[in-house]
Amino acid sequence: MIVAKFGGTSVADAAAIRRTGEIVRGRLGRAPVIVVSALAGATNALLSAAELAASGQLVAALEHVSQLRDRHLATISELLGSGPEAHELRAETSLMFDELAHLAEALSVLGFATPRSMDAVASMGERLSAPICAAAFSQMGIPSVAVDSRQVMITNDDFGRAAPLPAQIAAASHAQLLPIIAAGKVPVVGGFVGATTSGITTTLGRGGSDYSAALFGAALNADAIEIWTDVDGMLTADPRVVPGAQLIEHLRFDEAAELASFGAKVLHPSTIAPAVERDIPVYVFNSMRPEAVGTRITFEAPPCTVRAIAGKRGVVVVRVGSPKMLGTPGALRSIFEAFDRYRISVDVVATSEVSVSLTVDDDPSLLKAVEDLRGFGEVAIERDRGIVALVGAGLGGSSPSMARALRAVGDERLHMVSLSSTGINLTLIVDDAQVHPVMRLLHHEFFGGASA
Ligand code: ASP
Ligand code: MG
């Protein structure tokens, strides 16, 4: 069996849901479990409604609710027409919107929203979309059953970012999903949403549907997980920066993780970790172009020199130097602790015996951390820097790629260079304004195509 997850744009409206239904039809031979997001934009609209209500703007909040209601009801009519199924689903949907309107009223009376009440509201998007998709697929001749994700995605009560309880999820998925598959039907579950063991609604955090798919895939030991979105997959560079960026057909999980930390937004690898840890391959596909190859992410992948080039602007370099550090155990730890104290995450590090250079995002608390660091010696801050990273499992060891990359950047001013110990990431710190030109240069060197 496989788990196929369809993001908000893949279920945005009736046409998208039908397109998704055709993709599901093409997978019937593989016993698919379908995970769906809320209709595109619905979660944002729900959260704004909750915030408006809690800040006393009930009329505006109810306006959001009624727009969402109209949108969902219109989608149902377009998909199912006016038969008895359509009638029943419209009635169920209306009831959920009544519940939502009551929630909004309650929030406006209270004047504040707790994480728990925000989850009750945010969960509505997927609780609405799953029954609509299941009904639409059934109407298309694909017998499907909507499953309330709160019966299967069991979590702790960390509202807003609940942690899944894998053993409970496995037991519940086996009990609830497998019988549906055994009966020759397709289970359709909302992503993102779960419930505590006592049944209180939770969510996994924004964008959590990928995580749901990976968790169900791991729980059911799926043969594959498919993430259907609105781009072709992961690319060798951001196409807005490098016009000749190419699709990556296959990459390693750790490579994908490196790319994500540089803002590759296709999917966040930490969310698919439960699947990858079990050696379940994860595919990224475009639901607008189902025939395209997509990207495959696995624990191991065929070797390459450079898999992709990423960049990040607006980075700050902090340099701490002091002869006192020479032979002083624990100096590095204390330096990192200073950043940790203000929850500033450090990206790239280079050290010598008497100095440490590191990069951080420009953060309002940076100056506080720097104050603390003055205890160690000289601290210098360089703003207007950026990171260019070459990511690829072939960069380590005695690979000539590193020398090749350095030759390719020529006279470029490099403020730091770092090769990660696992050798999958060569990082160059350049002037902020040079991030994009250097990305294009390196992309040309390793992937060909235009250099500027
Ligand atoms: N609908 C949720 C969100 O927008 C979860 C998801 O789409 O993955 O955050
Ligand atoms: Mg999404």
Using the mean position of ligand 2's atoms as its centre, give its distance from the Cα of residue 419 in Å. 33
The CA distance from 381 to 265, in Å, is: 29
The CA distance from 10 to 210, in Å, is: 13
Decide: 8 in ligand 1 pocket, CB within 6 A: yes
The CA distance from 296 to 117, in Å, is: 38
pLDDT of residue 451: 52
Decide: 206 in ligand 1 pocket, CB within 6 A: yes
| Contacts (Cβ under 8 Å, ≥6 apart) of 386 | 311, 312, 313, 314, 315, 429, 430, 431, 432, 434, 435
Ligand in nearest proximity to the CA of 38: 1
Using the mean position of ligand 2's atoms as its centre, give its distance from the Cα of residue 396 in Å. 34
Decide: 9 in ligand 1 pocket, CB within 6 A: no
pTM of the model: 0.89
**Closest of 345, 389, 399 to residue 369, by C-alpha:** 345
Q: How many residues does the chain have?
A: 452
Using the mean position of ligand 2's atoms as its centre, give its distance from the Cα of residue 313 in Å. 24
Using the mean position of ligand 2's atoms as its centre, give its distance from the Cα of residue 112 in Å. 26
- Nearest atom within ligand 1 for CA of residue 125: 1
The CA distance from 391 to 425, in Å, is: 5
Ligand in nearest proximity to the CA of 127: 1
Using the mean position of ligand 2's atoms as its centre, give its distance from the Cα of residue 354 in Å. 46
Mean pLDDT per 10-residue run, the chain (452 residues)?
Answer: 97 98 98 98 98 97 98 98 94 98 97 97 98 98 98 98 97 98 98 98 96 97 96 92 94 89 77 91 95 94 90 94 77 89 90 88 90 89 95 83 91 90 87 97 89 50
Report helix angle 42-54 to 124-139, nearest 10: 150
Handedness of CA 13, 14, 15, 16 (dihedral sign): positive
Q: Strand 308-321's sheet: what is its strand order?
A: 346-351, 355-361, 308-321, 378-391, 425-431, 416-419
Ligand in nearest proximity to the CA of 207: 1
Decide: 396 in ligand 1 pocket, CB within 6 A: no
Maximum Cα interatomic distance, the chain, rounded to a whole number of Å: 81
Using the mean position of ligand 1's atoms as its centre, give its distance from the Cα of residue 190 in Å. 10
Decide: 36 in ligand 1 pocket, CB within 6 A: no
**Closest of 448, 440, 3 to residue 237, by C-alpha:** 440
Decide: 269 in ligand 1 pocket, CB within 6 A: no
**Residue 141 backbone dihedrals phi, psi, to 5 degrees:** 90, 20
Using the mean position of ligand 2's atoms as its centre, give its distance from the Cα of residue 382 in Å. 36
Q: Are 186 and 13 in contact (CB under 8 A)?
A: no
- Nearest atom within ligand 1 for CA of residue 208: 8
**Closest of 145, 229, 228, 161 to residue 194, by C-alpha:** 161
H or E stretch at 295: strand 295-298
Nearest CA residue ID for atom 2, ligand 1: 207
Torsion of CA 234, 277, 194, 18, to 10 degrees: 40
Decide: 190 in ligand 1 pocket, CB within 6 A: no
- Nearest atom within ligand 1 for CA of residue 204: 5
pLDDT of residue 130: 98
In this structure, the strands spanning 308-321 and 355-361 are antiparallel
Decide: 125 in ligand 1 pocket, CB within 6 A: yes
Among 3, 10, 35, 43, residue to substitute to test ligand 1 (most atoms within 8 Å of Cβ):
43
- Residue 291 DSSP symbol: T
List residues, by chain if needed, whose CB lies under 5 Å from ion ligand 2: 7-8
Decide: 274 in ligand 1 pocket, CB within 6 A: no
Buried b / exposed e over 393-403, threshold 16 CB at 10 Å, is: bbbbeebebbe
Give 302-361 as a DSSP string.
---S--EEEEEEEEEEEEEE-GGGTT-TTHHHHHHHHHHHTTPPEEEEEE-SSEEEEEEE
Q: Are 260 and 268 in contact (CB under 8 A)?
A: yes
The CA distance from 177 to 223, in Å, is: 16
Using the mean position of ligand 1's atoms as its centre, give its distance from the Cα of residue 127 in Å. 12
Looking up tokens 């939770």 gives 202
pLDDT of residue 201: 98
Among 3, 192, 215, residue to substitute to test ligand 1 (most atoms within 8 Å of Cβ):
192
Using the mean position of ligand 2's atoms as its centre, give its distance from the Cα of residue 7 in Å. 5
Which amino acid appears at position 160 of this protein? G
| Structural domains present in the chain | 2-230 (3.40.1160.10), 308-447 (3.30.2130.10)
Ligand in nearest proximity to the CA of 210: 1
Six-digit token string for 107: 């929030």
Q: How far apart are the first and last CA of the chain?
A: 45
Among 35, 36, 37, residue to substitute to test ligand 1 (most atoms within 8 Å of Cβ):
37
